[in-house]
């Protein structure tokens, strides 16, 4: 196999827990989505690809090389971790700049590249603020900025949309698309199929540490559409937002898990994600974050694997 990523019979155990189970897949050029519920093995695969874990069986290759303790390969890689922690005592500008200087850039070059990357992700105005004051969406965009600022060949993005607000999602997806259009390769994990669908048709489905399907996204769409999809919105006015969203005929139900949360179930998640930014903008209701509990996807996976 000669893909951007080649994984052959990769198994990884955490004690008695199996993270990856003879995972075999080849990821091609452009954008590939790694889709699976939480605990499926997405982050384990990514950690193998960035050299933070090594396989107990089998092997992975990134850009044709073994990533374990491969310092030179890191120059060709941009990585956006799943978690949102950063050096909170640095500003966004300092954070990106510092990491760029670890690529060997001079201070002046790093400053220029960091400024440019933060502009690309729409964070110029907040660049001088401490990152500990950032919202989750801003953190996601900062992580993306540090990952692409040194112009890597491949971006590995672990749940880059998790918790991001609607505007941040649009910005992040646009940035990823532009990176790929410029010739870069992207591996992006998500447990929300409809997010990845907006930027690529090429996906690998992962469940219980195994690649259970890969290829065109449309083949499994019909299956997934039969399962109502849950979306959790973080908003200070959940009831007013529910009223506004009730005009969507594909919305099945609303729940209010807490005073500042709204859980929506929809039969047409793609339409929901497409229409939501417009409704939020029209009604001027604040939506601080969006998350999709993976129970709907999990149901589909259980169906797929029998």
Partner 1 sequence: MDLVESLRKAWVVTGLTLRYLMGTRRGIAIAVLAAVPLLLTVGLALARVDSFGIQLFQILLIPLFFQLVLIFVALVNASTLIRDEIEDNTLPYLLTRPISKPALIFYKYVAYLASALVLLVPPIVLAYGVTELHTGSPFSADLDVLWGFLLTTILGSAAYGAVFLFVSVLVRRPLFVGLFLGFLWESIVGQIPGDVRKLSVIHYLKSILKDTISVTPLSIYSTDVSAAISVVVLVGFSIAMVVLSILVFQQMEFKSKA
Which residues are at the interface with partner 1 (CB under 8 A)? 14, 43, 47, 50-54, 69, 71-72, 74-75, 77-79, 81-83, 85-87, 89, 98-99, 101-106, 146
Q: Which is nearer to partner 1, 79 or 194 (CB)?
A: 79
| Smallest gap from residue 74 Cβ to partner 1 (A) | 5
Contact between residue 196 and residue 176 where contact means Cβ atoms under 8 Å apart: no
Cα gap 216→200, rounded to integer Å: 9
3-state DSSP helix/strand/coil percent for the chain, to nearest 5? 40, 25, 35
Question: In degrees to the nearest 10, what's the CA dihedral of 40, 44, 45, 46?
Answer: 120
State which residue, 83 or 221, has the beta carbon closest to partner 1: 83
Closer to partner 1 by Cβ: residue 155 or 193: 155
Q: Which is nearer to partner 1, 135 or 202 (CB)?
A: 135
Nearest distance in Å: CB 44, partner 1: 8
Nearer to partner 1, 112 or 237 (CB): 112
- Give the residue with the Cβ less far from partner 1, 93 or 235: 93
- Please state the length of the chain: 306
Nearest to 261 by CA among 287, 283, 281, 294: 287
Closer residue to partner 1 (CB): 46 or 272: 46
189-201: b (≥16 Cβ within 10 Å) or e: bbbbbbbbbebbe
Least separation, in Å, of the C-beta of 90 and partner 1? 8
Q: Least CB distance from residue 115 to partner 1, whole Å?
A: 18
The total of other beta-carbon atoms located within 10 Å of residue 239's CB is: 12
Q: What are phi and psi of 257, to 5 degrees?
A: -65, -30
- Residue 59 or 277: the one with the smaller Cβ distance to partner 1 is 59
Residues 6+ apart with CB under 8 A from 170: 277
* Displacement of CA 59 from its chain's centroid (Å): 24
Q: Shortest distance, CB of residue 132 to partner 1, whole angstroms?
A: 11
- CB 57, min distance to partner 1, A: 15
CB of 178 to partner 1, least distance (A): 21
As measured in angstroms, the least distance from the Cβ of 81 to partner 1 is 5
Strands (E), the chain: 5-14, 17-27, 31-35, 57-62, 77-80, 154-158, 185-190, 202-207, 210-216, 229-234, 251-255, 261-266, 289-291
Q: Which of 302, 291, 265 is nearest to 192 (CA)?
A: 291
């Amino acid at each position: 196999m000669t893909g951007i990523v080649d994984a052959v019979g990769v198994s990884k155990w955490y004690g008695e827990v199996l993270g990856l189970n003879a995972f075999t897949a080849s990821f091609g050029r452009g954008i590939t989505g790694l889709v699976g519920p939480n605990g499926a093995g997405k982050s384990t695969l990514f950690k193998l690809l960035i050299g933070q874990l090594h396989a107990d069986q089998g092997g992975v290759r990134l850009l044709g090389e073994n990533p374990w303790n491969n310092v030179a390969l890191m120059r060709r890689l941009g990585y956006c971790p799943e978690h949102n922690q950063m050096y909170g005592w640095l500003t966004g500008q300092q954070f990106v700049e510092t990491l760029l200087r670890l690529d060997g850039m001079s201070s002046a070059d790093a400053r220029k590249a960091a400024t440019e990357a933060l502009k690309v992700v729409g964070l110029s105005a907040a660049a001088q603020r401490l990152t500990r004051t950032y919202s989750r969406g801003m953190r996601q965009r900062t992580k993306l900025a540090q990952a692409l600022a040194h112009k890597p060949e491949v971006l590995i993005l672990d749940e880059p949309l998790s918790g991001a607000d609607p505007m941040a999602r649009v910005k992040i997806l646009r940035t990823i698309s532009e990176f790929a259009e410029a010739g870069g390769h992207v591996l992006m994990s998500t447990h929300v199929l409809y997010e990845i669908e907006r930027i690529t048709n090429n996906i690998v489905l992962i469940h219980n540490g195994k690649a259970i399907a890969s290829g065109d996204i449309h083949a499994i769409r019909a299956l997934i559409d039969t399962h109502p999809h849950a979306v959790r919105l973080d908003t200070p006015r959940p009831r007013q937002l529910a009223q506004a969203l009730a005009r969507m005929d594909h919305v099945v139900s609303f729940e209010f898990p807490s005073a500042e949360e709204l859980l929506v179930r929809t039969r047409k998640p793609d339409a929901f994600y497409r229409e939501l930014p417009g409704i939020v903008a029209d009604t001027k209701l604040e939506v601080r974050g969006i998350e999709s509990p993976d129970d709907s996807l999990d149901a589909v996976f259980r169906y797929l694997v029998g």
